[in-house]
Amino acid sequence: MKTLQKCLFPLAMALAISAAPVSAQNYKAVDIKPIDPSYFIPKRHEGRTYVITGGARGIGAASAIRLAREGANVVILDVLAKEGAETIAQIRKEGGKAEFVKGDVRNNADVQKAVDLALAKFGELNGALNAAGVMSATAPDAPFDYQKQKSLFPSPIAEASDEYFDTLMDINATGVFKSMRAQLKPMLKQGKGGAIVNICSIAGLTGLAGNSAYVASKHACSGLTRNGAIDYAPYGIRINSVNMAATETAMTAMATEFVKAANKENAGSDVVNMGRTKTLSILAFADSKKRQATVWEQAAVICFLLSDEASNLTGGLYATDGGWTAY
CA distance 264 to 104: 34
Residue 237 or 245: the one with the smaller Cβ distance to ligand NAD is 245
- Tell me the one-letter amino acid at 187: M
Nearest to 306 by CA among 318, 322, 295, 321: 318
Q: How many residues bind ligand NAD (CB under 6 A)?
A: 29
User: In b/e form, how buried is each residue of 251-284, taking b as 16+ CB within 10 angstroms?
Assistant: bbebbeebeebbeeeeeeeeeeeebeebebbebb
Residue 98 or 199: the one with the smaller Cβ distance to ligand NAD is 199
Give the nearest distance from C-beta 74 to ligand NAD in angstroms. 14
Give the nearest distance from C-beta 151 to ligand NAD in angstroms. 18
56 to 95: interface string for ligand NAD, x by CB under 6 A: xxxxx-----------------xxx---------------
214, 232, 318, 327: which one is catalytic? 214
Helices (H) and strands (E) counted in the chain, each on its own, are 11, 7
Stretch that binds ligand NAD, among 48-56, 113-121, 151-159, 310-318 (CB under 6 A): 48-56
The rounded radius of gyration (Å) of the Cα atoms in the chain is 21
Identify residues 103-132 at the interface with ligand NAD (CB under 6 A).
104-106, 131-132
Nearest to 324 by CA among 154, 149, 206, 210: 206
Give the nearest distance from C-beta 9 to ligand NAD in angstroms. 35
Half-sphere exposure of 130 (CA within 13 A, CB side): 34
∠ CA 16-17-18, rounded to 5°: 95
Residue 53 or 240: the one with the smaller Cβ distance to ligand NAD is 53
Give the nearest distance from C-beta 280 to ligand NAD in angstroms. 12
Q: Which one among 51, 171, 215, 302 touches ligand NAD, defined by CB under 6 A? A: 171
Q: Which one among 246, 283, 306, 310 touches ligand NAD, defined by CB under 6 A? A: 246
Q: Which residues pair with 122 in a beta bridge?
A: none
- Whether the CB-CB separation of 101 and 110 falls below 8 Å is answered with yes
Identify residues 218-237 at the interface with ligand NAD (CB under 6 A).
none
CA distance 217 to 164: 11
Stretch that binds ligand NAD, among 24-32, 64-72, 101-109, 258-266 (CB under 6 A): 101-109
State how far the alpha carbon of 104 is from the alpha carbons of 113, 168, 179, 310, 316, in Å.
Answer: 11, 13, 10, 30, 26
Residue 51 or 56: the one with the smaller Cβ distance to ligand NAD is 56
Nearest to 250 by CA among 170, 151, 144: 144
Stretch that binds ligand NAD, among 99-107, 117-125, 187-195, 269-277 (CB under 6 A): 99-107
CA distance 237 to 230: 10
Q: Which one among 190, 252, 294, 325 touches ligand NAD, defined by CB under 6 A? A: 252
Stretch that binds ligand NAD, among 17-25, 33-41, 50-58, 263-271 (CB under 6 A): 50-58
Residue 214 bears catalytic tag? yes
**Parallel, antiparallel, or unpaired: how do β-strands 127-130 and 194-199 relate?**
parallel
Asked whether position 161 contacts ligand NAD by CB under 6 A, the answer is no
Stretch that binds ligand NAD, among 6-14, 52-60, 256-264, 270-278 (CB under 6 A): 52-60
Identify residues 183-222 at the interface with ligand NAD (CB under 6 A).
199, 201
Note the residues at the interface with ligand NAD (CB under 6 A): 53-54, 56-60, 78-80, 104-106, 131-134, 140, 171, 175, 199, 201, 244, 246-247, 249-252
What amino acid positions are annotated as catalytic residues? 214
